[in-house]
Structure 1
Amino acid sequence: MSSAANWSYTAFATVWKALGNDERGDPLGYSLPVTILCDYQGGLSKRIGSIGSEIVVKNTIWSEYADAGSGDWILIGVSDNPDPVEAGADEIRQVIRYADTFYRLADDFAIITGV
C-alpha cells in the first residue's frame, strides 16, 4: 500500500467478480465476495429524456484494488452475501487506472458504477 493510500483508503467495499457467460450468453455467476479498502463519492442519478434513459455515474470508488472490471459488482461496505444483487451491490461500468506518480508502488483505480 502506498503512503497516500495508507491514510486515504479508510472505508471498505465488497467486490464480486463476474465469472463470464455460458455458450448461450447466460451469466455463470459470481465469485465469493472480496473486501477491499477504498474511498468513495456519490455521483449523479439516472437521467430520463424524451428519447430514453442515459447511463450516468452513480458512485466512484477509489482503491488500489487492480482486479475490478466492467461487469463485476461492488458494494460500499462489507457483505458476505454470495449474491451481489441480493446484497444491494451496483454493477461496475468502467475502471480507470491512475499512476502512483511519486512512489511507483501501487497504481490507484477509479471504479465507476452507473444506473
Structure 2
Amino acid sequence: MSSVANWSCTATATIWRSLGKDETGDPLGYTEPEQILCDYEGGLSKKLASLGAEIVVKNTVWTEFALAATGDYLLIGSSTEPDPVVAGADEVRQVIRYGDTFERVADDYAILTGI
C-alpha cells in the first residue's frame, strides 16, 4: 500500500466477487466475503455512459483493491454474510482505474455501485 493510501484508506468495505454467469445469464455465485481498505462517498448521482445510457450511482468507493469488477457486490462496512444480497450489498456497476501519481506503488480504483 502506498503511503498516501495508508492514511486515506482507513474505512472497511466488504466485497463479494462474481463467479460469472451461466448460459442463461443467471449468476453462478460469489466468492466468500473479503474485507478491503477504502474511503467512500455516499449519495445518489447520475452519469451518462459512453453509449448514452444513464447509470445511477449509489456509492463511490476509493481503494487500491485491484480485483473488483462489474457484477461484484460491495458493502460499506464489514460483513461475514455469505450472500451479498442478504447482507444488503450493492452491485458494482463500474470500476475506474487511476495511476498512483505520487509513488507509483499501487494504482488507485474508484468502485461505483448502483441501484
Whether TM-score is above 0.5 comes out as yes
- Which consecutive unaligned segments of at least 5 residues does structure 1 have? 47-53
Partner Cα separation in structure 2 for residue 55 and residue 103 of structure 1:
32
**2:81 corresponding residue in structure 1:** 81
Alignment RMSD: 1.3
What is the 5 A alignment of 1:1-115? Answer: 1-44=1-44, 55-115=55-115
* 3-state SS of paired residue (1:110): strand
Where does structure 1 differ by over 2 angstroms across 4 or more consecutive aligned residues? none
Partner Cα separation in structure 2 for residue 11 and residue 38 of structure 1:
5
Q: Show CA shifts across 1:79-106 (max 9, x none).
A: 0000000000000000000100121100
Partner Cα separation in structure 1 for residue 90 and residue 15 of structure 2:
10
Matched residue type, 1:36: I
* 3-state SS of paired residue (1:44): strand
* 3-state SS of paired residue (1:43): strand
Matched residue type, 2:33: P
- Over 3 Å counting, the alpha-carbon distance change for 1:85 and 1:100 in structure 2 is same
Say which one has the larger Rg: 1
TM-score (norm 2): 0.89
Measured after TM superposition, the shift of residue 56 of structure 1 is 1.1
Measured after TM superposition, the shift of residue 45 of structure 1 is 5.9
Measured after TM superposition, the shift of residue 16 of structure 1 is 0.2
* Count of aligned pairs: 108
Percent identical residues:
70
